[in-house]
Amino acid sequence: MSPENLEKRVIAIEAEVAELKAKLATVSGEDVPWWKRISGIFADDPAFEEAMRLGREWRESFRPKPPRKKKNDGRSRHRSPESPRKTGVRGKPKPSNPTGSSCESGHDN
C-alpha cells in the first residue's frame, strides 16, 4: 500500500471514530452518571425484594451469635426461682411479734 493511500485511510478512520464518539455521547448522556440513570428501576419489584432478603440472610449467617443466657439453676444470689421469703439480715427467719404491737421496734408510743 502506498503511503498516500494509507494516509487517506487513516484520515477516514479518524473521522469515523470521531463521528461514533459524538453519537455515543448523545445516546449515552455522559452528563448523567450511570448510577443515576439506573436508580429506581427495581422499585416495587418482588424479585428484587426477594434477592435483597436472601442476601441479607446470607450476610447475617456470618455474624457472630450473641451468647445465650444461662438458665437459673437456683444457685444465683440475685435471682431465685422461688418466691421471696421473709428473712432477717443473715437469712434467718424473722421472729414473730410476741407483743402483737403494730410498731416494728416493739415500743409503744
Q: How do residues 31-44 score in pLDDT, each as one tens digit?
A: 778 888 899 999 99
- The full length of the chain comes to 109
Question: Looking at residue 50, what is its pLDDT?
Answer: 97
**pLDDT band, very low/low/confident/very high, at 108 (cuts 50, 70, 90):** low
Q: pLDDT: is 1 or 102 the higher one? A: 1
- Residue 87: left if φ>0, alpha if ψ -120 to 50, beta else—which one? beta
Q: Which residues pair with 93 in a beta bridge?
A: 87
For residue 93, the SS3 value is strand
Question: Domain ranges in the chain?
Answer: 3-60
* CA triple 43-47-52, angle to 5 deg: 80
Question: Is the whole model's pTM more than 0.75, yes or no?
Answer: no
